[in-house]
Chains A and B, each alone.
Chain A
Amino acid sequence: MTPNQLMAEMRDYADLLLNQGVALTANPVVPQHPEPSLTRITSQRPATRSSRLTDFAFASIDEYRALLESQDYLVVLADGAVIQLSYDFRGLTLVRHRLCFYPCPYDIDPAFLEEDPMLDVVDMYHTDGSGHLRLRTPLRFDFDGQHEDEDHSATHVHMLWAHCRCAVSGPVSIGRFSRFVFRHFYPHLWREHKFLRELKQERWDRSIRMQDEEFLHFSWREPSPSRRGASKQLQEDQ
């Protein structure tokens, strides 16, 4: 998959979420070049916003607020959850990715989010006390082909704690990430929207090491060509 193909896929994905009413708002998808030979496909936050995400603790309300404030996201879902996607290529080779699902820490009436500025709504719940507060962890699927060590699998997921790096069998495509999120966390949307069940699942080479495979980790089986139909049928049923 080329960077341009991935950019088109990310655009289509954001447009679908928006047009089907699953997402509340979105940022444009653009290619960036943080280094001369590196192409990053990600969402563009408004130039008027600065990112201060490093200032906040992982999985904190402040970090969630900062995401909204800096408008650093691909989409915000109707319940206030944030999705960030970013893929880095060197030439045609995928070298890094960062796919984040950041749930809203409050159970918010979606009507408020639709009508009012999102951060104002979050603050409204925040000041109302802890009754609406939910302990939900963000999930961030990171892949770094160059960076691997004893407790750092090339592809891993951060959850609950920033230092948590639970191994993942290989780089995760937009479709695979989205299916995971919606199938598990938004079963009603998963049932309602066919497009969520039909998103393409790109294949990349597995990156997991033997020693990581011996522990509980995230993995999936690529459907073999002969089994594709059966797998599809299974998805339809779910």
Chain B
Amino acid sequence: MLEVVYGQTKNPIVTSQLVDLIGGLNVDGTLYIGYPVLSSADESIFVEALLICDQFGLVVFSIGNGLGQPPNDEFWNRVQEKQDTLYFAIQTNLGRHLALRRRRDLAIPINVISFFPDDLQVPAGRDLLVAGPGTLSTVLGGCDQFDPQYQRHLNAALQRVTTIKPSKKRANVARGDSRGAVMREIEREIANLDQWQKRAAIETPAGPQRIRGLAGSGKTVVLALKAAYLHAQNPDWNIALTFHTRSLYQQLTDLVRRFSFEHSNDEPNWDRLKIIHAWGSAAKPGVYALMAESVGMPPRNYLYAKTTYGMNEAFHGICRELLSATKGRRVEPIYDAVLIDEAQDLPWSFFHLVYDFTSDAKRIIWAYDELQNLSDTSMPPLEELFGKDSAGRPRIQLTHTPGEPRQDITLPVCYRNTPWALTLAHALGFGIYRDGGLVQLFDDPGLWSEIGYTVLDGSPNLGQQVSLKRSENSYPAYFSAHLNREDAIVCQKLDDDDHQAETVAAEIQRNLTDDELEPDDILIILPNVLTAKRRAAAVMNSLARRGIQSHIAGVSTSADEIFAKGSVALANIYRAKGNEAPMVYVLHSQYCVGGHELIKVRNILFTAITRSRAWVRLYGIGPDMDELIAEVDAIRTHDYRLDFTVPTAPELARLRMIHRERTASERAKIDRVQKTLQEFVEAVEAGDMAIENLPPEMREAFKKFFKPGEGK
């Protein structure tokens, strides 16, 4: 079967002719359209199409237009020159891979074919492979194949985006079975992963694209590569790569730069490709501020936004202001393409603005993971996210046309988390085994398989019973090879604050000695942002008494790197987001179990667990911890399956309503009512009051509430 990866093409008509022709040849392999730019010493080279298959070997295509006049000598010279350039570029690129060399030569023969919409006759004496519709199969048939033993390495070289993380040296590892040794193995294997989502990175429609994926599935990598790719193909475009978590800035810049160097050996032109925060700071204006300035509106500052709209609505508030100010006005686009990471954390008003300020093709690419939203606002449907046009039609629609780049991509493989931790995170996030029933669930039953679950039994459709499990190909093999599920997850209740601080400090001391981990392998997460700074201090004291250095990440500024060599990082959940560590301790996990705002706190728990690359420890105190332990035990008893009944649509809506995030006054109201009811119950129990003291209509209403199936 021929797999076609659709990148960007400058010559769509002839390219699609080529795709059709190769498709008709019953080829088994991959055809890349618009393979990322390669470098020669002094110029960037655009590879229009690249075929790799058993039958014909490695074939590089140069794609030409139809000719108005018969080809002359000058024309053939240009064809020759282009073929030579392509040849050397590919040779240099592949030659960097040791596994593709045979002694001092490249082991892969490179075939370069110039493809034209007409069948051209190559003049005698010119050694050129030229094909048209009538001659393609013959010309391909004459290509040099490669030795099958190189196929795997060749694919790896072509598909590998980049070495994602330079693995640590881990020079302190002496024992073969310590946690440090395990991490060394895992890191080695990650660096050699064959398929770092290159396909998703290359596929570029001439319009909007949505990327959904689990935590750790490589969304950020894909977006960074896309940005570098779009920039390399279109150096004149104004491209913005934007995000929500400030500390992502460095990571994104590094990724874009590395990719740019690996493929075009050049620094990106940062005037055109901007890695820019959605909101910005006083020192560095963000996308919002640039949009506002471009229409002559002074951008609002933080203090205004937060004071006027409150913490949670601040950004939404000022984006709405800008939207109303530009309403009905013709806005001059300032971007040709906008890529948005962590889209789940940005308000719809921002998306509306991005739509308005992006040029007509609306190349807006947004990536998100719904469960990593730390509030309860779920991703709105497309017509709300980007709005409707004057005729009431959604301004952006995602379509899938065969033979064109996909507009909707899901990344099902989770490279970061063990399958057990990920299942645990989903089970706790949704409340699958929660005593009081589900907390939330996504509406689309098809999403389960797209995020890498297999249906073992039943059906994930609304109202049905289902049994789900991580599918075998949804996680890399290194997890099962090096880790065991019992040790991967530990959930423990502790007596009090001090006991918790002492326990985590003692465990970390063991991690740093017997386990041979390094301080920056460890991340301590404090889920409640309001108390995090205080609680962190207690843990730091316990660590300091053991001579272990630690620091609170982001206590002074959010732009700081979270990890520091030689020091254990503590962070609140907002600061931990977007980061990962081999060993993750979640303290005060009980905060994420109950309360009025279940969706929010369960999402926090989900986000915390999915920071772990190998081991996660859930610690906490108080009675809510028993509930959490029971839920974790249930996941183990169910052998890391999700067995539950999918709610019906009205039930889902009801869940969202009950467990939503509340404003301060709503919270106060709930507390007040609870207290009054508590007083009533106590009064009745003490004999001071009787049910009959309540007015009859109230008694009737209560009766109704408590009748099964009739609650509101």
Chain A interfacial positions (CB closer than 8 Å to B): 11, 14-15, 18-19, 21, 23-30, 44, 46-49, 68-69, 71, 109, 111-112, 114-120, 123-128
A to B CB contacts below 8 Å, 18 in the list: A24-B533, A29-B541, A46-B551, A47-B551, A49-B551, A69-B556, A71-B555, A111-B311, A114-B533, A115-B311, A115-B530, A117-B558, A117-B560, A118-B555, A118-B557, A124-B306, A127-B302, A128-B304
Q: Max chain B CB contacts within 10 Å: which of A18, A68, A71?
A: A18
Tell me whether B536 is interfacial, beta carbon within 8 Å.
yes
Apart from A48-B564, A118-B557, A127-B302, what are 12 other A-B pairs with CB-CB below 8 Å? A18-B538, A21-B534, A27-B540, A47-B549, A48-B551, A48-B565, A71-B551, A71-B556, A115-B311, A117-B556, A118-B555, A127-B301
- Bound CA–CA A210/B302 (angstroms): 54
Asked whether A128 and B541 contact (CB < 8 A) given A112-B306, A116-B558, the answer is: no
CB distance from B528 to the nearest CB of A (A): 11
- Bound CA–CA A43/B575 (angstroms): 24
Tell me whether B556 and A14 are in contact (CB under 8 A). Answer: no
Tell me whether A119 and B534 are in contact (CB under 8 A). Answer: no
Tell me whether B303 is interfacial, beta carbon within 8 Å.
yes
Tell me whether A119 and B556 are in contact (CB under 8 A). Answer: yes
Q: Max chain A CB contacts within 10 Å: which of B303, B307, B536?
A: B303
Q: Max chain A CB contacts within 10 Å: which of B301, B537, B560, B564?
A: B537
Q: In chain B between 542 and 578, which residues have their CB closer than 8 angstroms to a CB of chain A?
A: 543-545, 549-552, 554-558, 560, 564-567, 575
- Chain B residue numbers with a CB within 8 Å of A19 are 534
Asked whether A28 and B541 contact (CB < 8 A) given A71-B555, A117-B554, A118-B555, the answer is: yes
- Bound CA–CA A128/B307 (angstroms): 12
* B545 to chain A: closest residue by CB: A28
Tell me whether A127 and B536 are in contact (CB under 8 A). Answer: no
- Chain B residue numbers with a CB within 8 Å of A128 are 301-304
- Bound CA–CA A117/B557 (angstroms): 5
Chain B contact residue count (CB 8 A cutoff): 36
CB distance from B336 to the nearest CB of A (A): 30
- Chain B residue numbers with a CB within 8 Å of A30 are 544
Tell me whether A46 and B567 are in contact (CB under 8 A). Answer: yes
Nearest first, the 10 closest Cβ-Cβ pairs linking A and B are A28-B544, A46-B551, A48-B564, A25-B533, A127-B282, A26-B537, A124-B302, A119-B556, A119-B557, A128-B303
Q: In chain B between 161 and 198, which residues have their CB closer than 8 angstroms to a CB of chain A?
A: none
Tell me whether B556 and A118 are in contact (CB under 8 A). Answer: yes
- Chain A residue numbers with a CB within 8 Å of B694 are none
Tell me whether A18 and B555 are in contact (CB under 8 A). Answer: no
- Chain B residue numbers with a CB within 8 Å of A114 are 530, 533
CB distance from A83 to the nearest CB of B (A): 13
Partner of A68, one of B537, B556, B564: B556
- Bound CA–CA A125/B301 (angstroms): 9
- Chain B residue numbers with a CB within 8 Å of A11 are 541
* B563 to chain A: closest residue by CB: A48
Q: Mark B410-429, 1 if CB is under 8 A from A, else 0.
A: 00000000000000000000
- Bound CA–CA A15/B552 (angstroms): 17
Tell me whether A69 and B557 are in contact (CB under 8 A). Answer: yes
* B497 to chain A: closest residue by CB: A19
- Bound CA–CA A138/B558 (angstroms): 26
Asked whether A25 and B303 contact (CB < 8 A) given A71-B551, A115-B529, the answer is: no
Q: In chain B between 391 and 417, which residues have their CB closer than 8 angstroms to a CB of chain A?
A: none
Tell me whether A14 and B557 are in contact (CB under 8 A). Answer: no
Tell me whether A23 and B534 are in contact (CB under 8 A). Answer: yes
- Chain A residue numbers with a CB within 8 Å of B301 are 124, 127-128
CB distance from B214 to the nearest CB of A (A): 28
* A127 to chain B: closest residue by CB: B282
Tell me whether B281 is interfacial, beta carbon within 8 Å.
yes
- Bound CA–CA A42/B685 (angstroms): 56
- Chain B residue numbers with a CB within 8 Å of A14 are 537
Tell me whether A48 and B567 are in contact (CB under 8 A). Answer: yes
- Chain A residue numbers with a CB within 8 Å of B545 are 28
- Bound CA–CA A18/B555 (angstroms): 15
Partner of B540, one of A24, A28, A68, A115: A28
- Chain B residue numbers with a CB within 8 Å of A120 are 281, 557-558
Tell me whether B544 and A44 are in contact (CB under 8 A). Answer: yes
CB distance from B340 to the nearest CB of A (A): 22
- Bound CA–CA A118/B534 (angstroms): 13
- Chain A residue numbers with a CB within 8 Å of B530 are 114-115
- Chain A residue numbers with a CB within 8 Å of B306 are 112, 124
- Chain A residue numbers with a CB within 8 Å of B302 are 124, 127-128
Q: Max chain B CB contacts within 10 Å: which of A44, A46, A69, A119?
A: A46
Tell me whether B282 and A126 are in contact (CB under 8 A). Answer: yes
* B306 to chain A: closest residue by CB: A112
Tell me whether B556 and A46 are in contact (CB under 8 A). Answer: no
- Bound CA–CA A48/B561 (angstroms): 10
- Chain A residue numbers with a CB within 8 Å of B534 are 18-19, 21, 23-26
Asked whether A18 and B537 contact (CB < 8 A) given A46-B551, A124-B301, the answer is: yes
CB distance from B540 to the nearest CB of A (A): 5
- Chain A residue numbers with a CB within 8 Å of B541 are 11, 15, 28-29
- Bound CA–CA A115/B533 (angstroms): 9
Q: In chain B between 511 and 551, which residues have their CB closer than 8 angstroms to a CB of chain A?
A: 529-530, 533-534, 536-538, 540-541, 543-545, 549-551
